[in-house]
């Protein structure tokens, strides 16, 4: 079947199933749908379908996973430079990163035409591929427990900084759409007004943002790293800022291309860090004047610092978000020891299980540990990574919050709240993956072809 016909089929499947998924429209620029307990732009769902149905991984593939605005652009540049340094020395004037945006050098798995358009298949090995999908929604052939040889690098960032960066980026995309489309967009309606920071904060705390909830996204990969450290590398944005050279060495070793003694003597790791620094990238002509499909390249480069959230959040807001993350992580740790996950994802497959024979369940060594031990491990890993304050430091500032929606309000035009993917499973044939009805229909159709 021609690529265009396959893409059309994926679009048809997406339109058929998307309408049944919960919708969120209050965080422009993207209209979001809830899939497997996470929120994603409608536009990427055909790409997710294609990835699950037809993506063929290679043993040398390296996946760069991240929650949006958590250092993705920087990580793309670093990993690309590390993987291709033999052909493109970092000091070379003709290095691709000097003439192309990192997002043009490293494509997202879930881009609508990444699989069906042949973009990923045409890349030489080793391929570096990015994704914002959580570990639990990666294709079965990709997950580390599937034995495909694929390596996964995850970078996480303080959720407060991720929120600020997300909001500022969204404002730029909305402004670009307004400038491009004028009063009328593609649907004949004016572009949505930008969300205020206070509105964005409330939605983020509800987990209603692209790839949210952020804390579940991070916990997905943290747990995978704990089970399969040789297959999943967990990096922290803040630690990379403090010692980028050491972290680039760690990245290269994990990717299977550690720096040789000769390269170390020549300072290649430092050259890569210098090439990929925020200042260097933002000052390159392609990133000052080039554009992506929906926004200027310069929009992907801001400050590249840790702690900028303090310029946007009140102390009470910061403590509230810290508490949400801490409670969610602690609850997940306790639930893991009981053989389940937290509310809102109770039926999600465990990391290492993706609903097809290529992804056998991974052993969970933590299952036999005491809840306190697991909670401490997760707290020192995920919660500390996210910059969570200790509970005793919060005092009277702790805000009582519900698990999913503090107000318990069903918004106008929105589907009623549903219990994770249990409701999703009821919409599709039994035996297919509960986390994603869209993917279930696609896989079922592929099997019956």
Residue reference for tokens 């690529």: 3
- In this structure, the dihedral spanned by the alpha carbons of residues 349, 114, 32 and 346, taken in order and rounded to 10 degrees, is 0
User: Which pLDDT score is estimated for 303?
Assistant: 55
Neighbours of 127 (CB within 10 A): 19
Judge contact between 185 and 177, C-beta under 8 A: yes
- In this structure, the dihedral spanned by the alpha carbons of residues 107, 112, 117 and 123, taken in order and rounded to 10 degrees, is 10
- CATH architecture assigned to 26-355+363-447: 3-Layer(aba) Sandwich (3.40)
User: Which pLDDT score is estimated for 87?
Assistant: 93
Closest to 43 (Cα-Cα) out of 294, 233, 399 = 294
Residue reference for tokens 């630690």: 239
What is the residue extent of each domain of the chain?
26-355+363-447
For the chain, percent helix, then strand, then coil, each to nearest 5? 45, 5, 45
Tokens of 123: 């890349």
Neighbours of 104 (CB within 10 A): 15
User: Which pLDDT score is estimated for 287?
Assistant: 58
48: number of CA atoms within 13 Å, CB side? 30
Judge contact between 207 and 213, C-beta under 8 A: yes
**Alpha carbon distance 348, 412 (integer Å):** 27
User: What is the 3 state secondary structure string of 337-404?
Assistant: HCCCCCCCCCCCCCCCCCCCCCCCCCCCHHHHCCHHHHHHHHHHHHHHHCCCCCHHHCHHHCCCCCCC
Residues 6+ apart with CB under 8 A from 173: 28, 29, 294, 295, 299
**Alpha carbon distance 105, 102 (integer Å):** 5
Closest to 442 (Cα-Cα) out of 1, 50, 2 = 50
88 is catalytic: no
* Long-range residue pairs from 186-194, CB within 8 A, at least 24 positions apart, any chain: 191/28, 191/29, 192/25, 192/28, 192/29, 193/28, 194/28, 194/170
Q: Which of 52, 95, 132, 217 is catalytic?
A: 132
Angle between helices 315-337 and 159-181 (to 10 degrees): 110
In the DSSP assignment, the letter for residue 279 is H
Mean pLDDT by 10 residues, the chain (449 residues): 53 64 86 93 88 90 96 94 95 91 90 79 93 95 74 96 90 72 55 79 95 95 94 96 96 97 97 90 66 50 70 94 90 68 38 34 39 34 47 31 31 36 32 34 33
User: Which pLDDT score is estimated for 39?
Assistant: 96
Altogether, the residues listed in the chain come to a count of 449
CA 317 to chain centre: 24
Residues 6+ apart with CB under 8 A from 426: none
Closest to 61 (Cα-Cα) out of 243, 256, 239 = 256
Tokens of 93: 């004037």
User: Which pLDDT score is estimated for 174?
Assistant: 74
pTM: 0.73
Q: Is the peptide bond before 223 cis (omega within 30 degrees of 0)?
A: no
User: Which pLDDT score is estimated for 199?
Assistant: 93
Which strands make up the sheet holding 151-156, listed edge to edge? 128-131, 62-66, 151-156, 232-236
Region of 19 (left: φ > 0; alpha: ψ -120 to 50; beta: rest) is alpha
């Amino acid at each position: 079947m021609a690529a265009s016909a396959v893409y059309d089929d994926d679009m048809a499947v997406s339109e058929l199933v998307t309408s049944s998924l919960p919708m969120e429209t209050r965080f422009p620029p993207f209209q979001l749908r809830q899939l497997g307990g996470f929120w994603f732009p409608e536009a990427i769902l055909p790409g997710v379908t294609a990835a699950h149905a037809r993506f063929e991984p290679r043993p040398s593939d390296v996946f760069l996973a991240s929650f949006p605005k958590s250092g993705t652009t920087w990580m793309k540049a670093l990993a690309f430079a590390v993987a291709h340094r033999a052909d493109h020395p970092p000091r070379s004037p003709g290095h691709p990163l000097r003439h192309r945006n990192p997002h043009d050098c490293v494509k997202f798995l879930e881009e609508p035409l990444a699989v069906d358009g042949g973009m990923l298949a045409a890349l030489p090995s080793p391929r570096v591929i990015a994704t914002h999908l959580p570990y639990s929604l990666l294709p079965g052939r990709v997950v580390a427990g599937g034995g495909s040889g694929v390596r996964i690098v995850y970078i996480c960032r303080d959720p407060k900084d991720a929120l600020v960066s997300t909001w500022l980026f969204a404002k730029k995309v909305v402004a670009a759409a307004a400038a491009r489309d004028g009063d009328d967009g593609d649907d004949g309606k004016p572009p949505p007004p930008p969300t205020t920071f206070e509105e964005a904060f409330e939605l983020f705390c509800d987990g209603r943002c692209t790839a949210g909830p952020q804390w579940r996204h991070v916990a997905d990969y943290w747990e995978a790293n704990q089970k399969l450290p040789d297959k999943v590398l967990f990096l922290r944005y803040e630690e990379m800022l403090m010692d980028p050279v050491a972290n680039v060495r760690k990245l290269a070793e994990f990717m299977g291309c550690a720096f040789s003694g000769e390269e170390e003597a020549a300072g290649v790791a430092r050259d890569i860090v210098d090439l990929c620094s925020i200042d260097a990238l933002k000052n390159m002509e392609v990133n000052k004047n080039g554009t992506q499909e929906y926004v200027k390249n310069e929009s992907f480069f801001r400050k590249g610092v840790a702690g900028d959230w303090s310029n946007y959040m009140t102390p009470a807001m910061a403590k509230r978000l810290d508490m949400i993350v801490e409670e969610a992580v602690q609850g997940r740790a306790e639930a893991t020891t009981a053989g389940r996950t937290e509310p809102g994802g109770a039926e999600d497959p465990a990391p290492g299980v993706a609903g097809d024979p290529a992804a056998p369940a991974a052993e969970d060594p933590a299952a036999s540990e005491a809840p306190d031990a697991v909670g401490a491990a997760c707290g020192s890993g995920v919660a500390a990574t996210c910059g969570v304050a200790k509970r005793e430091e919060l005092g009277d500032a702790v805000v009582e919050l519900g698990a999913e929606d503090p107000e318990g309000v069903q918004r106008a035009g929105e589907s009623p709240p549903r219990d994770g993917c249990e409701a999703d499973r009821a919409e599709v044939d039994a035996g297919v993956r509960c986390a994603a009805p869209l993917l279930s229909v696609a896989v079922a159709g592929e099997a019956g072809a």
